[in-house]
Structure 1
């Protein structure tokens, strides 16, 4: 990934993920690795968007603690044409295993509440491109989230609290059958 150290501007977001074993009554999964990544407030991805290939921000990995939790401090993701706002997630059984994509045990995406996104994009400076993209998409027309039932979508949507001045926090539980 190189040694890029830039910072992506945007509204603060603190995301806490609780990783649990859905096969054993949702017991916490300690020592697992959670890797997340998402786009900038303009809907671009570091490493992949042509203007950001030298950057590696808005990506991170953490090892779950004894209660199966990790907390990421990032920015509120933007929206791009054809996709609802989301955060990509991969889970690995250990830090050593996280060095190869082939070792992942779960791949998913977390959705963001449309109403909160609309408020952020129309209120916070720098998110105007995301307003246009959000107006052109729904969960029903998104090529990933459209396959989910309403209960599945609810389970994959981060419960956000906060405001457009101080930022948002969002806890979410991710169950994996181990």
Structure 2
């Protein structure tokens, strides 16, 4: 807990260079892209199939939920809390950030992130109210590309794989994205921040939770077997474990289980995933 508080303080102070919770040795710094918009579509890259067992989405009758642990936003949040090459990186105040398909860049570039298709649904629940769904909350989701690079930072010209959605009456948001790559020093993961309203999210302030999602080991192994689409992930994944990861390694088994989305589908057709996000209001 002391480590998490320290990381959160450093991130809020705008000193991304001092936060290594999300960084790997292969990441390089870059400048920030600014202004313009475009959207296109991408198709999944066929590779051998693999499946994992899904779990049902949450509802107001769910009782088996816990509060997700607070994790660092890392050095690449793009939420206005840090800088890259001396410029503040804040995608939240750019028109177009509220979107469900986060694969295209939407600021100065029009690049579409390629990789294995993934549609992930996050369900926000109130752990202090019998796991009732939280409607009207905003979720900012971001993660690295198939090469382990982050838009606005190590892929400085891009703004892909970042977006905001508002939860519906069931407390749910769905993002269309790609399966993230693996980079040195970190278990494959996604970042997210939860805000009590869209206006708070777009201001980049007052997040009620900052945390991360751990990708399932079996799915990682299957996806990374395609060295053409994910050229360096397999070797880097072989050198990391959940227990040695600096973020997930000190969480309880119950916390890690909730932080790990349930997957179904395959590489060729794409995956769908669900995860429960517990908020202690």
Q: Which residue of 2 aligns with 1:117?
A: 220
**Pick aligned residue for 1:71 from 174, 180, 183:** 174
Q: Which residue of 2 aligns with 1:134?
A: 237
Partner SS state of residue 74, structure 1: strand
Q: Which residue of 2 aligns with 1:44?
A: 149
* Cα drift, residue 147 of structure 1: 1.1
Distance 1:67 1:152 in 2: 22
Larger Rg: 2
Partner SS state of residue 57, structure 1: coil
**Pick aligned residue for 1:97 from 186, 200, 215:** 200
After superposition, the C-alpha distances for 1:34-79 in whole angstroms (9 at most, x for unaligned) are 0100101111101110xx2111101110000011000000001110
4+ runs deviating over 2 angstroms: 99-102
TM-score, structure 2 normalization = 0.61
| Change beyond 3 A, Cα 1:124–1:27 | farther
Distance 2:231 2:238 in 1: 11
Distance 1:124 1:116 in 2: 15
After superposition, the C-alpha distances for 1:13-41 in whole angstroms (9 at most, x for unaligned) are 00000011111001111000001001011
Distance 2:227 2:253 in 1: 29
Unpaired runs of 5+ in structure 1? none
State whether residues 139 and 195 of structure 2, in contact with CA within 8 Å, keep that contact through their aligned partners in structure 1: yes
**Structure ranking higher in strand proportion:** 1
Aligned length: 176
**Structure ranking higher in helix proportion:** 1
Q: Does 1:25 align with 2:130?
A: yes
Instruction: Give the aligned CA root-mean-square deviation in angstroms.
Output: 1.1
State whether residues 134 and 170 of structure 2, in contact with CA within 8 Å, keep that contact through their aligned partners in structure 1: yes
